[in-house]
Structure 1
Amino acid sequence: MDPEHRALLRAHRLELSGQLLVSESIVPFLYQENVLTLSQVEDIESQPTNRQKTQRLLAVLPSRGPRAFDAFLRSLQDFSWIRDQLQLELQKGPGPGATGESYAWQLPDSVLQKIPSDRELSRLAARLGSEWEWVLMDLGLPVEALFRCRSDHSFSTHGAILAGLVQWKQREGKTATVQRLIQSLKAADVHPSVLQDVLT
């Protein structure tokens, strides 16, 4: 998914999760279009409320390839006013400061290239808020693994986040660097300076 499409969905996440009923037509359409897998559909449908189902869908969509956003717009036939609003926002283009200048915090190259320790990941997990699932999805953690992290640590958000970050580090090996973490924090609209305390 293009960065501008991802940013648009993030910017309207609360609004979308309050207005959409994804079970009726949106999720079935995206499954029919091969944007969602069966396990992703089951994961979305297992959420207890409409709001949580929509939030889960919005967490999954950015990782579903270049066709995902257009297919999502086409799935909004019953919510044409929302589709029109999203298309209007796209035509207007990104606002000032959307190019990443706000992420001016710099780290030396030696720190950027290092692999964070489990202790540092634990400290990061303690600082992440509701965006943690977006961060892990951007890091490439599969939805199934994310679901396992949540179910294995249903009483501890910190435990779920840490489990996901440790899995990412184990999966990626030498490419699981601080620089890669910063990219995913930016993608989830988390200011990379949250890492400053973690790494010092």
Structure 2
Amino acid sequence: MGQHKEVSCFSTRGPCPFQTHCTWMDARDKQVLRSLRLELCSELLVEGLVIQYLYQEGILTENDMQEIRSQVTNHRKTMTLLDILPARGPKAFETFLESLQEFPWVRDKLEAKRNEAVLMVSEDNGIPGISKQALENPPTDQQINKLARNLGAEWEYIVLCLGLTQNDIYRCKANHPYNIQSQIVSAFISWRQHFGKEATLESLCSTLKQVEVASSVIQQMFE
């Protein structure tokens, strides 16, 4: 798997298979989708007008439609759509807004978030008492276990932000069907293995901050 130079909630593996859609969504718009991902998954029903409109406007392909419809729950259908959209070019966000005719309150929320969005480009990803050099190392098994104990249902969103896929998450759940903490630990270890030298404590902490995990949870990894 190719290495990634930045943490992205919508990382992809390998070259984009859709040569006409290889330009990416504006970073601000990706940030908006990332920050509202859980709300979108709980409030949207995408299988009707939403994906039909996106298909009509050339944002989705027929294969995309099939992949979305094949998901068992509406939550997964929406999540799959949100995984696809950022790789569909700079017009994808506007077209997505246009597709939300049946969900005006969701569209309003997205537009408001977009207007206030400020890219989180900060060089200060430091942790009090932890050296910059230490943050360049990958998290240890012990640190991953400490983090896993303090995360809830948001863990899936976090590992997606780190670059894992829904299939990766499914495998972690299948391998540990009766132990949620083991699923979480397995997912973070999988991230560490996939991304190698780029799976650093710094990138992990940066992502945790971006998705608004409590600073006390982050600090506990180092205690």
Instruction: State the TM bucket, normalised to the shorter chain.
Output: 0.7 to 0.9
| Deviation readout 1:157-186 (Å, 9 max, x if unpaired) | 212211111111111112211001012212
Gaps of 5+ in 2: 1-24
1:134 aligns with 2:160: no
| Partner residue, 1:73 | 97
Sequence identity of aligned pairs in percent? Answer: 30
| Partner residue, 2:68 | 41
How many Å apart are 1:46 and its aligned residue? 1.3
| Partner residue, 1:195 | 218
| Deviation readout 1:89-136 (Å, 9 max, x if unpaired) | 423x248xx887997744311221111112221221111222212211
How many Å apart are 1:77 and its aligned residue? 3.0
Change in Cα spacing, 1:108 to 1:163, as seen in structure 2 (3 Å) is same
For 1:161 and 1:193, locate their aligned partners in 2 and report how far apart those are by CA, in whole Å: 19
**Partner residue of 1:122 out of 125, 145, 155:** 145
TM-score, structure 2 normalization? 0.66
| Partner residue, 2:197 | 174
SS in structure 1 of the partner of residue 103 of structure 2: helix
Greater relative CO, 1 or 2 (CA 8 Å, sep 6+): 2
Given that residues 20 and 54 in structure 1 are in contact (C-alpha distance below 8 angstroms), is that contact kept between their aligned partners in structure 2? Answer: no
**RMSD across aligned C-alpha pairs, in angstroms?**
3.6
| Partner residue, 1:25 | 49
For 1:2 and 1:133, locate their aligned partners in 2 and report how far apart those are by CA, in whole Å: 24
Gaps of 5+ in 1: none
Given that residues 147 and 221 in structure 2 are in contact (C-alpha distance below 8 angstroms), is that contact kept between their aligned partners in structure 1? Answer: yes
For 2:103 and 2:156, locate their aligned partners in 1 and report how far apart those are by CA, in whole Å: 26
Given that residues 63 and 137 in structure 1 are in contact (C-alpha distance below 8 angstroms), is that contact kept between their aligned partners in structure 2? Answer: no
Of the structure 1 ranges 119-128 and 30-39, higher mean CA displacement relative to structure 2 is found in 30-39
TM-score, structure 1 normalization? 0.73
For 2:157 and 2:33, locate their aligned partners in 1 and report how far apart those are by CA, in whole Å: 11
How many Å apart are 1:7 and its aligned residue? 4.7
